[in-house]
Amino acid sequence: MILGVLGKGGSGKSTVATALVNYLRAQNKSLLAIDADHNMDLSHNLTTGIDTSPQTYLGSGLTDLYDYLGIAPGVKYDMAFLSGISKAFSLTPLDSFSEKYSLPLDTTTHLMTAGPQTDAVLHGKTCSHILTTPLKLFLPLLTLQPDEYVVVDEKAGADGVTTGIVTGIDVGIIVVEPALHSIKTAKQIAELMDFYQTPYVFVGNKILSSEDQEYLAQELNQAPIVYLGQNRDIQKGHSDFAITWQTELSMIIKTATTINMNNRTERTKIKFARNLSFSSAH
C-alpha cells in the first residue's frame, strides 16, 4: 500500500512520515520511503549518521525511467502511460531502476529522494515539481505485495495534489493542526482528493487539549482518525516518535488498509486522459 502524507506547510508531514516509516520498519515490513519534497526533511530524519554519498536523486532519473520502461525519448509520460506500458516496478525483488535510485537503510527498507533544488529550479527556468515527475509513472506502475508499504512525504499544500502524484498513492494521510489555515488547506486537499477519487484520512497533530480535538472535528466536519499530541521532545528530535505514537500509527495503518481501493493504475489513467483532453480543448 502506498501512503502519501499531505498537509499544510509545517503541519507535521515529515514528522508523521518518519514515524510511519520507523513504525513499519520495526515490524520488518518490506518498505520504500519516498521523500518527494526538495527540503528533504524525511531523508534527513532517516539518514542521520548514515553515509548517503552513493545516493542518486530521483529528480535526475527521468531518462533512466524512460529507458527502463521502453518509452522513446520525447514522448509525453501521460501519452506513454495511456498507450500501455508492459513493464512494472517491484520492491521484492527490487527492480534495477529502484535499485539505482534508492538508498538501502536496512535489509528491507529503502529510501528514494526526489532531491534538492537544481540550478534550473533555482534560476527560475523550471518549477521544483519537476523533481517528482518520475514518480508520476513510478507509483502507478509499482506492483506491491499485501504486506509491502511505501510512505511518501509530499510537498506542502494543496497545489502539489493537482500537479503531483495524487493518483499514484493508495491512501492520503492529511496531517492537520488545530489552526485556522492548517484546517483550510486540509479541506482543500480533501476536496481535490475526492475529485481524484483517492481515499484519505485526517490525522490531527500538535494537539494540546480536548478543546483542540473538538475544534478540529467541528471545523473539518469529521473527526480525525487519531490525534497526535504536541510534544517538545519530538520538536527537538530527541524522541523516537514511532514508539511514542505506536497506538495511533497502528490505527492509521489499519484504517488505511480498510479504505484502500487498490486501483492506482485505473485512477491514474482517468487523470492522464482528463488532463490530455483538457490540454487539447484549451
Sites of contact with ligand ATP (CB under 6 A): 7, 9-15, 37, 39, 41, 156, 205-206, 228, 230-231, 234-235
Query: What is the nearest approach in angstroms of Mg ion to the Cβ of residue 15?
Result: 8
**Residues engaged in binding Mg ion (CB under 5 A):** 13-14, 41
Query: What is the nearest approach in angstroms of Mg ion to the Cβ of residue 39?
Result: 6
Query: What is the nearest approach in angstroms of ligand ATP to the Cβ of residue 36?
Result: 10
Backbone angles phi, psi at 239, to 5 degrees: -110, 150
Integer Cα distance of 4 and 21 in angstroms? 12
C-alpha cell at 196: 481524484
Q: Which is nearer to ligand ATP, 104 or 157 (CB)?
A: 157
Query: What is the nearest approach in angstroms of Mg ion to the Cβ of residue 41?
Result: 4
Q: Which is nearer to ligand ATP, 76 or 238 (CB)?
A: 238
Residue 70 interacts with which of Mg ion, ligand ATP, none, CB < 5 to 8 Å by class: none
- Is the backbone peptide bond immediately before 93 cis, with ω within 30 degrees of 0? yes
Among residues 164, 228, 155, the alpha carbon closest in space to that of 193 is found at: 164
Residue 9 interacts with which of Mg ion, ligand ATP, none, CB < 5 to 8 Å by class: ligand ATP
Residue 248 interacts with which of ligand ATP, Mg ion, none, CB < 5 to 8 Å by class: none
Residue 128 interacts with which of ligand ATP, Mg ion, none, CB < 5 to 8 Å by class: none
Query: What is the nearest approach in angstroms of ligand ATP to the Cβ of residue 179?
Result: 12
